[in-house]
Chains A and B, each alone.
Chain A
Amino acid sequence: MNNRLLNWFKFASPQSFFPLAGKMIPGFWALAVIFGVAGLYLGFFVAPTDAQQGEGYRIIFLHVPAAWMSMFIYLVMAFWAAIGLIYKTRLSGMMASALAPTGAMFTFLALWTGAFWGKPMWGAWWVWDARLTSELILFFLYIGFIALQAAIDDPRRADKAGAILALVGVVNIPIIYFSVKWWNTLHQGASVSLTKAPSMAQTMLLAMLLCALAFWMYSVAVALMRVRGIILERERNSEWVKQQVTMAAAGR
């Protein structure tokens, strides 16, 4: 137990995580590409036309994975922020900062693809229903987190302030998820959930899940890339960064 704890803490230090992350990135890229190609192929070439929405429903293969990731990344970000707040581990705050821009991007994509889906199907680019409004608030939470951290020079204080904002904002996630159940919304209910059988044809479902996996792997790869940059930036005065960087220069 003690030994395992030690191991965990070993990788929790930026110094040992930096090369580890570097080694993991290509693997996650490969997985993202494999799942992405398979999911898009199934979704755009194999999955049948939808009875209600014709070919327009194919936006689902991007919209739902983006929306899932927008919420999931926020939860992971808040998790790391909380760990950093409680245990004062340096790497946790860096992880939270590395995840925020990707989460914001997926939130934007969920809103964008949603608008492009809503216009032909519902008849409106945007409506102020509970699902859409709460997702927009998620976007502002990400932007607020990023802006707040950018506004504070001392990284430790920036991490702390960001963590508090991130944790307060967690309330919004169940609101987004359950909004279609709790209130009358124009947005339809969930097609896929843990509590009931999915209401989608099998090929459509498989394509959507593969795309979601691809987005997930992409997020990990991109967050690891970004966290490496953050580590270098914040630890630039340490001896190991000096060695690391000079070694990289010699290798080139």
Chain B
Amino acid sequence: MVWNSFSDFLAMGGYGLYVWGSVGATALLMMLEPIIIARRNSALTTQLQRQFRAERNQHTQRRSPA
């Protein structure tokens, strides 16, 4: 362990702004990206499910009177 205290760790020898500015941006983007993709994928799946269900209902409706 190279740090004597937590505030030492935060200060990064006076480079805190630069080190944490880099870490923060990297962490933010690398967490956001998978979340955005997962959301978009599940939204697409739901949309397709709805579409297919509607199509099937149309089919059965068309068929049933005959």
Write the residues of chain A forming the contact surface with B, with a CB cutoff of 8 angstroms.
Answer: 44-49, 54-56, 58-59, 62-63, 66, 101-102, 105, 108-109, 112-113, 116-117, 119-120, 218, 221-222, 225-226, 228-229, 232-233, 236, 241-242, 245-246, 248-249
Interface status of B13 (Cβ within 8 A of chain A): yes
**Contacts A59-B19, A225-B41, A236-B48 supplied; 4 other A-B pairs, CB < 8 Å:** A56-B15, A58-B19, A63-B22, A116-B21
Interface status of B23 (Cβ within 8 A of chain A): yes
Contact check, B34 vs A229: say whether CB atoms are below 8 A apart: no
The residue from A49, A59, A226 contacting B18, defined by CB atoms under 8 A apart: A59
Contact (A120, B49) CB under 8 Å given A45-B3, A225-B38, A225-B41? no
Contact check, B22 vs A116: say whether CB atoms are below 8 A apart: yes
Contact check, B18 vs A119: say whether CB atoms are below 8 A apart: yes
Contact check, A112 vs B41: say whether CB atoms are below 8 A apart: no
B36 to chain A: closest CB distance in Å?
9
A-B interface, 10 closest residue pairs, ranked by CB to CB distance from nearest: A55-B13, A56-B15, A113-B22, A55-B12, A54-B13, A229-B41, A116-B18, A116-B22, A116-B21, A245-B48
Interface status of B29 (Cβ within 8 A of chain A): yes
Taken together as a complex, chains A and B put the C-alpha atoms of A46 and B1 apart, in Å, by 5
Residues of A within 8 A of B40 (CB): 229
A133 to chain B: closest CB distance in Å?
21
Contact (A62, B45) CB under 8 Å given A47-B2, A222-B33? no
Contact check, B34 vs A221: say whether CB atoms are below 8 A apart: yes
Contact (A62, B22) CB under 8 Å given A54-B14, A120-B15, A232-B41? yes
Residues of B within 8 A of A242 (CB): 52
Contact (A228, B18) CB under 8 Å given A46-B1, A246-B49? no
Contact (A109, B52) CB under 8 Å given A56-B12, A225-B37? no
Taken together as a complex, chains A and B put the C-alpha atoms of A116 and B20 apart, in Å, by 9
Residues of B within 8 A of A49 (CB): 2, 13
Smallest Cβ-Cβ distance to A98: which chain B residue:
B37
Contact (A249, B49) CB under 8 Å given A54-B14, A109-B26? yes
Residues of A within 8 A of B17 (CB): 116
